Amino acid sequence: MTLAAEALQQRASAEIMAAALLAGEATISYFARTGVTMGATLDALHALQEIERRMAAIHGKANEKRRQIRVHQRAIAKKEVVIEEKQRAIQASQMEIDRIDLDVRTKDVELAKHRDALGAARTNKEYAAILTAINTEKADNTKQESRQLELMASLDTLRAECEEIVTERDAVAERKAAAESALQAYVDESADEVSRLENQRDEASKGVPPTVVATFQRIADRHDAEAMAEVLVLSVKRGEYACGGCNMAMTLQQVIGCKERDDIVLCASCGRILYLGVDGAF
């Protein structure tokens, strides 16, 4: 080994240590204590990665169903706001119609009184005054009654509109109920697979330091279950490498770190756990 290569390796070890610190634990001591090799750890992490993907696929499907339910819920809420508005308008119209009714009836009583008074009028002047009052009351009532007819027509329209929205709301509520049943069915039917995957995860985690598992989980949560990234060899000649997760360039030391498999090496940019492909050449 040349001096330059040795220096590179030393720097790589420092990187590995840094990665261990980043992972928040003294992983290396774990390997010394248990005799577990990093190769085995990476293999276990690959297994964990596959399990994580399957879990994420199941959770993703369930979440899509939950999202659909929320879409229905929002549509229902919107329709209920409109229904409430319509119901308030219906109530206001109904009250106005009732008020006019009372008004017309009061005026009718007045009219009857005036008609009686008309027969008892002593002078032409008195007769004319009562007649004017009667005509005004009649005109008022006619106006009020036509207003009432308008209100009744608009009340019918409002009621029909309200009924239509209630029907629409009920249809969405049915779709929501169906989506909820579908979610429950999916959760039930995938329960076995989830517990199988959980067992596999526990099994695969056994050979891995707990802190590495925790780091893996944290990275997986951050990157849609993709905690691992392959080192992309762009040019061996020019020493160009990149993280397969985020495409950011990697230093040679990081690549050497992966090659030596002493500890997990995290991408400095996206934080994914790096590994070399089948060739592993650099």
What is the size of the binding site for Zn ion (CB under 5 A)? 6
- In terms of C-beta distances under 8 Å and separation of at least 24 residues, what long-range contacts does 189-198 make, across chains too? 190/58, 190/61, 190/62, 193/54, 193/58, 194/55, 194/58, 197/51, 197/54, 197/55, 197/58
Q: Does 183 bind Zn ion (CB under 5 A)?
A: no
Q: Does 270 bind Zn ion (CB under 5 A)?
A: yes
Q: Does 73 bind Zn ion (CB under 5 A)?
A: no
Q: Does 51 bind Zn ion (CB under 5 A)?
A: no
The stretch among 23-31, 128-136, 159-167, 246-254 that binds Zn ion (CB under 5 A) is 246-254
Q: Does 130 bind Zn ion (CB under 5 A)?
A: no
Single-letter amino acid code for the residue at 114: H
Q: Is 16 exposed, middle or buried (0-12, 13-18, 19+ CB in 10 A)?
A: buried
By beta-carbon proximity to Zn ion, the closer residue of 55 and 267 is: 267
Asked if 208 contacts 48 with a C-beta cutoff of 8 angstroms, the reply is yes
Q: Does 243 bind Zn ion (CB under 5 A)?
A: yes
Q: Does 104 bind Zn ion (CB under 5 A)?
A: no
Q: What is the DSSP pairing of strand 240-243 with strand 228-235? A: antiparallel
By beta-carbon proximity to Zn ion, the closer residue of 245 and 257 is: 245
State which of residues 245, 250, 265, 275 lies at the interface with Zn ion (CB under 5 A).
Answer: 245
Asked if 215 contacts 23 with a C-beta cutoff of 8 angstroms, the reply is yes
Residue 130: which of 140, 144, 120 has the closest Cα? 120
Q: Does 246 bind Zn ion (CB under 5 A)?
A: yes
Q: Does 267 bind Zn ion (CB under 5 A)?
A: yes
Q: Does 144 bind Zn ion (CB under 5 A)?
A: no
Binding site for Zn ion (CB under 5 A): 243, 245-246, 267, 269-270
